[in-house]
Amino acid sequence: MQSIKQVLSGESLGQPVSIRGWIYRTRSSGGIVFAVIRDSSGIVQTTVKKGDVPDENFGPASNAGIESAVEVEGILAEDDRAPGGLEIRASSFKVVAPSEPFPITEYQSTELLLDKRHLWIRSREQTAVTKIKAAMLRGAREWFHENDYVEVTPPMITAVAPEDSTTLFQIKYFDRIAYLSQSAQFYLESLIYSCERVWALTPSFRAEKSRTPRHLAEYWHLEMEAAWVNNDDNMKVQEELVTAMLEHAAAGCRAELQLLKRDPASLRKISPPFDRMSYAEAMDSLQAGGCEVSWGSDLGAVEERALTKERETPLFVVNYPKELKPFYMKENPEDSRTYKNSDLLAPEGYGEIIGGSERETDNSLMVDRLKEIGESLENYQWYLDLRKYGSVPHSGFGLGLERMVTWVCRLEHIRDATPFPRTVARVYP
């Protein structure tokens, strides 16, 4: 048995090959069936001629609809009209399991494709996205390993809100209330006192009511935290990590990227250092471009798009006003209105993919801020403890994996960056 990719390499031209997979397209005329077969590695045309295959094969072969599972043996031959220029002339075509009429045909509504997501993920586009995402994750994992980071496993059930208490999913936890994690950051911060450099890949949950093309209620969050690292060094880690992830995608998924109309060379062009712009400069640039913003305006999708649509490489926006960001960030000594933080914006208008900062190390400042925002100190006692026992400068960040995949795969909507998207409107399938 060979993969279709192996078959399409042409090495076995003129020789017998055997494949298995699912019917991707099929038509028959007279005594011949043209069936394009798909497996995880690609598609190839097979021709099944009456008389060339055992008699008991031909009927099922001509009746089998798309998505029937099949096993095919035959001789690999050249054919200009076939995808990839090669076809298999079948000597055997076994239908392992026929398919009922497949509910997804060409030009379906978005709603139907979401209802039938468990079937739609078989599409070539979705398969390409899944593989590119896996390549990016492998790039990240290798980068962290090579740079002495320890992978850790924080809890997903928690009592604290690192980001925004209005977007917490509440759960019944025995006889009390708990929340699904929005970010593993506080747990990663605790672990730097033993491991110094840590990272984790976990689902994060955000009860975002907004229906936007860049928000999921559940997404995969790649987070890191490191001791003795300031905000500048934190950005260097982000540049290197993102570059490693892009390199793995470009090197390992050429064909998949091309299928999605993303030129792998455009990803390879990206390397450190990325451009940096302060929030204040971003405001000036947006105002000059006609956006109605002023100091204190948040950067939403529209503003981020305006800042990056002409760019081919990512952009750091640094030093946001404190009122726009969470309590745990370190004040900027050069401008106390702002924090030592950064958001990394993807190029081509895709917007924020990473949020990061240096962390506040002073316990009393942190207590004051928590009181200001009306949080109960009780739940944060353990987090505040971290500033009592050998507090050190440290920084970290969180990368939204589906946000990055949306950019890399040039997707219009973040839901296509994940096999089973969870949004306000959808938990099925």
> What mask, x for binding ligand NSS by CB under 6 A, covers residues 216 to 235?
x--x-x-x------------
- Piece in contact with ligand NSS (CB under 6 A), picked from 25-33, 120-128, 233-241, 392-400: 392-400
Looking only at Cα atoms, what is the longest distance across the chain? 85
Site size toward ligand NSS (CB under 6 A) is 22
DSSP 274: P
Q: Which is nearer to ligand NSS, 197 or 215 (CB)?
A: 215
**Identified binder of ligand NSS from the candidate list 39, 73, 402, 416, rule CB under 6 A:** 402
**Residue 400 within binding range of ligand NSS, rule CB under 6 A:** yes
Encoded tokens for 4: 């279709």
Least separation in angstroms between CB 210 and ligand NSS: 9
Q: Which is nearer to ligand NSS, 41 or 204 (CB)?
A: 204
Alpha helices, H only, 19-171: 55-63, 110-115, 117-120, 124-146
Closest-CB residue for ligand NSS?
400
Separation CA 338–CA 80 (nearest Å): 63
Residues numbered 195 to 214 that lie near ligand NSS (CB under 6 A) are: 206, 208
Evaluated on CA atoms 241, 245, 251, 254, the torsion sign reads negative
**Identified binder of ligand NSS from the candidate list 163, 233, 281, 375, rule CB under 6 A:** 163
**Residue 403 within binding range of ligand NSS, rule CB under 6 A:** yes
Least separation in angstroms between CB 224 and ligand NSS: 7
- Beta bridge partner(s), residue 72: 19, 93
- Piece in contact with ligand NSS (CB under 6 A), picked from 20-28, 87-95, 249-257, 390-398: 390-398
Least separation in angstroms between CB 400 and ligand NSS: 2
* Upstream peptide bond of 98 is cis (omega within 30 degrees of 0): no
Q: Which is nearer to ligand NSS, 42 or 400 (CB)?
A: 400
Q: What φ, ψ does residue 139 adopt, rounded to 5°?
A: -60, -40
Q: How does strand 42-49 pair with strand 32-39?
A: antiparallel
At 38 the three-state DSSP class reads: strand
Separation CA 10–CA 115 (nearest Å): 39
**Identified binder of ligand NSS from the candidate list 46, 47, 183, 423, rule CB under 6 A:** 183
Q: What φ, ψ does residue 189 adopt, rounded to 5°?
A: -60, -40
Separation CA 159–CA 139 (nearest Å): 32
Residues numbered 258 to 297 that lie near ligand NSS (CB under 6 A) are: none
* Upstream peptide bond of 264 is cis (omega within 30 degrees of 0): no
**Residue 352 within binding range of ligand NSS, rule CB under 6 A:** yes
Least separation in angstroms between CB 40 and ligand NSS: 27
CA distances from 236 to 226, 229, 231, 260, 349 (A): 12, 10, 9, 29, 22
Q: Which is nearer to ligand NSS, 223 or 247 (CB)?
A: 223
Least separation in angstroms between CB 113 and ligand NSS: 20
Q: Which is nearer to ligand NSS, 5 or 410 (CB)?
A: 410
**Residue 239 within binding range of ligand NSS, rule CB under 6 A:** no
Least separation in angstroms between CB 185 and ligand NSS: 4
**Residue 351 within binding range of ligand NSS, rule CB under 6 A:** no
Q: Which is nearer to ligand NSS, 32 or 207 (CB)?
A: 207
**Residue 53 within binding range of ligand NSS, rule CB under 6 A:** no
> Is the Cβ–Cβ distance between 76 and 13 less than 8 Å?
yes
**Identified binder of ligand NSS from the candidate list 162, 264, 314, 347, rule CB under 6 A:** 162
Separation CA 277–CA 290 (nearest Å): 18
Residues numbered 354 to 373 that lie near ligand NSS (CB under 6 A) are: 354-356
**Identified binder of ligand NSS from the candidate list 353, 366, 370, 386, rule CB under 6 A:** 353
**Identified binder of ligand NSS from the candidate list 120, 339, 350, 397, rule CB under 6 A:** 397
Least separation in angstroms between CB 222 and ligand NSS: 9
Q: Which residues contact 109 (CB under 8 A, 6 or more apart)?
A: none
Q: Which is nearer to ligand NSS, 21 or 356 (CB)?
A: 356
Strand order across the 315-318 sheet: 150-151, 197-205, 218-227, 394-400, 351-358, 341-346, 315-318, 275-278
Q: Which residues contact 408 (CB under 8 A, 6 or more apart)?
A: 132, 136, 246, 249, 257, 262, 267
For every residue of 93-134, DSSP letters joined together read EEEEE--PPPS--SS--HHHHHHTHHHHTTSHHHHHHHHHHH
Chain positions contacting ligand NSS, by CB under 6 A: 162-163, 183, 185, 206, 208, 215-216, 219, 221, 223, 352-356, 396-398, 400, 402-403
